[in-house]
Amino acid sequence: MKLQNGGEYIQSLRALKPVIYYKGKRIDDVTRHPATAPHVRAAAMTYALAAKEKYRELATATSHLTGHTISRFTHVHQNIEDLIKKVKLLRVLGQKTGTCFQRCVGFDGINAVYSVAYEIDEKLGTDYLQRFNRWLTHIQDDNRMVVGAMTDPKGDRSKSPADQSDPDQYVHITERRPDGIVIRGAKLHMTGAVNSHEILVMPTTAMNEASKDYAVVCAVPIDAPGVTMVFGRQANDDRRDRKERIDVGKPSFGAVGGEALLVFEDVFVPIENVFMDGEIEFTGDLVYRFAAHHRANYGACKTGLMDVLIGAVSYLSLIQGTAKGSHVRDKVTEMTHLSETLYSSSIACSAEGWPTASGAYMVDTMLANVCKQNVTRFHFEVARLALDLAGGFIATLPSQHDFENEDVGHLVRKYFSGVTEIPTEDRVKIARMIEAMTGGTALVESMHGAGSPQAQRIMIYREGKLAEKIKLAKRLAGIIDPDD
């Protein structure tokens, strides 16, 4: 692995020149800009863990392509153990950052594209897997961060990609040359894009015959000519000033993944980096495999966040002298029960994993959808309970400037104090972290990341084996089934 730790990852980003806008201005260095640096540090943790003996087993893997030791985030799952190790790794990373560390999107994209490229080649005699493996070997050996780029803007949702009045509402091929293709369009909500090295472009939905130019999978360097990003504003991002560290809540890391609009304006992609070109019949499987892998993650990464939140309210209860209250214990128990239920789901869909024709392992798709569906509820309930326990004080928190002010500093210290042995500033720091982890943009990802709740409900219904269940019921009720 070329990039051995977090510091080397951060250095490697400084050598790139991606075009990124934020609040109407160019960001020249994502590693130092206050809006993006916290997200860079969160992603850097995926590199840092691989360098630590304690986590090496989880954070690294052996490449099935080269036999080299690689970051698990660039690995193709070879068995159930790999799937389970991934889940355990994500929980640890959630605990260490308290936020989205972004790198799983590319990881899941790699795994989805690998198995589908194999199947396209098997059926159509193409050489996509060979191209993909060449690209992946370079990603593994250099330990590059990949952003999985799936969600298109979609324009008028009632129309298919080819029927849009603006053809750019879905990423599509505008030109085919002997040595490559040219793509145009955009991807939305791109977690970790601004601090990735490479983009893995994938279609966002199953395509029909008329939408052949939209069935494209390819890899593009983040600073390729024609790629532009607009980084999204987040709640309270102006607080990320060095002078306002207490007010940020979680000074080192962001509250969410750091999402961007990613635009391709006639970007040339050399043929060796094209892994699907028009094979519409495989687009549905690709999207579904990516989504299932990503949905399986949420009971792990978000459980790590909930561990932090449970720790925060428990500590706040100690500071406030309420820790022994039976209702406090009961609510902490409920938070723990909900978060461990989610974790069980992630472990379960990994334990029930299965080999695709390529040999790469998939999670159980039904259980992965159930896992993510539960995250869209339980994480919110855990956040609700955290705010319940924290108290209305969260809405009145003074800023760091008030603590430092000669006239009111002593007043906020006195009237926001809890038990005498813990400084008031510590109470405010913990409360600010609870505010950051429960409000603003913090929970949007738990609702819409890896697909909105309705996307999971569609799949849960589709995979619910209703015909089989009707048979079970009829048989036990003594109803004769002529087909049985």
Q: Would you name the residues annotated as active-site residues?
A: 100, 104, 191, 259, 294, 298, 301, 445
Binding flag, residue 251, Fe ion (CB under 5 A): no
The site partner of 48 among ligand SF4, Fe ion, none (C-beta below 5 to 8 Å per kind) is none
Q: How far is the CB of 440 from Fe ion (least distance, A)?
A: 17
Q: Select the span of 67-75, 97-105, 246-254, 355-363 touching ligand SF4 (CB under 6 A).
A: 97-105
148 scored as a contact of Fe ion (CB under 5 A): no
Task: Return the number of the residue (183 or 450) whose C-beta is nearest ligand SF4.
Answer: 450
**Which window, 96-104, 174-182, 393-401, 465-473, contacts ligand SF4 (CB under 6 A)?**
96-104
For 116-140, b where at least 16 C-beta lie within 10 A, e where not — what string? bbbbbbeeeebebbebbbebbbebb
Q: Give the number of other CB atoms < 10 A from CB of residue 443.
A: 21
449 contacts Fe ion (rule: CB under 5 A): yes
410: helix, strand or coil = helix
The neighbouring-strand residues paired with 62 are 69
When CB distances to Fe ion are compared, the closest residue is: 449
In Å, how far are 60, 239, 302, 348, 382 from 341, measured between CA atoms? 27, 34, 12, 10, 12
Q: Is 143 left (phi over 0), alpha (psi -120 to 50) or beta?
A: left
What is the distance between the alpha carbons of residues 346 and 83, in angstroms, rounded to a whole number? 9
Contacting residues for 444 by C-beta, under 8 A, at least 6 apart? 256
CA atoms of 129 and 294, how far apart (whole Å): 22
428 sits near ligand SF4 (criterion: CB under 6 A): no
102 binds, among ligand SF4, Fe ion, none (CB under 5 to 8 A by kind): ligand SF4
Q: Rule CB under 6 A: say whether 449 interacts with ligand SF4.
A: yes
Please pick, from the candidates 100, 200, 202, 218, the single residue that binds ligand SF4 as defined by CB under 6 A. 100
Which CB sits closer to Fe ion, 287 or 389?
287
What is the β-pairing status of strands 146-149 and 198-201? parallel
Can you say how many angstroms the Cα of residue 135 is from the centroid of all Cα atoms in its chain? 22
Q: Between 249 and 257, name the residue whose CB sits nearer to ligand SF4.
A: 257
**Separation between Cα atoms, residue 418 and residue 415, nearest integer Å:** 9
Give the per-residue contact string, 292-331, with ligand SF4 (x = CB under 6 A; - = no).
-----x---x------------------------------
Q: How far is the CB of 101 from ligand SF4 (least distance, A)?
A: 5
| Chosen residue from 283, 445, 456, 459 binding ligand SF4 by CB under 6 A | 445
In the complex with ligand SF4, the residue whose CB is nearer, 102 or 374, is: 102
Question: Is 322 within 8 Å of 328 (Cβ atoms)?
Answer: yes
Which residue stretch of 31-39, 53-61, 161-169, 443-451 sits at the interface with Fe ion (rule: CB under 5 A)?
Answer: 443-451
How many residues contact ligand SF4, by CB under 6 A? 11
Residue (of 155, 236, 231, 234) closest to 189 by Cα position: 231
Would the CA dihedral through 469, 470, 471, 472 be positive or negative? positive
Tokens 């209860």, located at residue: 317
Half-sphere exposure of 410 (CA within 13 A, CB side): 2
- How many residues interact with Fe ion (rule CB under 5 A)? 1
Contacts (CB under 6 A) with ligand SF4, residues 16-75: none
Of Fe ion, ligand SF4, none, which one sits near residue 301, judging by CB under 5 to 8 A according to partner kind? Answer: ligand SF4
Q: How far is the CB of 265 from Fe ion (least distance, A)?
A: 26
Q: Which is nearer to ligand SF4, 40 or 105 (CB)?
A: 105
468: enclosing H helix or E strand: helix 466-476
431 binds, among ligand SF4, Fe ion, none (CB under 5 to 8 A by kind): none
Helix (H) / strand (E) element for 198: namely strand 198-201
Choose between 299 and 449: whose C-beta lies nearer to Fe ion. Answer: 449
What is the smallest separation between the CB atom of 297 and ligand SF4, expressed in angstroms? 3
| Interaction residues for ligand SF4, span 226-245 (CB under 6 A) | none
Among 9, 22, 47, 101, binds ligand SF4 (CB under 6 A): 101
Q: Which does 3 bind (CB under 5 to 8 A by kind): Fe ion, ligand SF4, none?
A: none
C-alpha–C-alpha distance, residues 277 and 279, integer Å: 6
Q: Does 257 bind ligand SF4 (CB under 6 A)?
A: yes
Collapse the DSSP code of 174 into the 3-class scheme (helix H, G, I; strand E, B; otherwise coil) and give the result: strand
> Of 44, 59, 105, 193, which one interacts with ligand SF4 (CB under 6 A)?
105
Exposure letters 23-48 (e unless 16+ CB within 10 A, then b): eeeebeebbebebbbbbbbbbbbbbb
Summarize as ranges the residues that interact with Fe ion (CB under 5 A): 449
Summarize as ranges the residues that interact with ligand SF4 (CB under 6 A): 100-102, 104-105, 191, 257, 297, 301, 445, 449
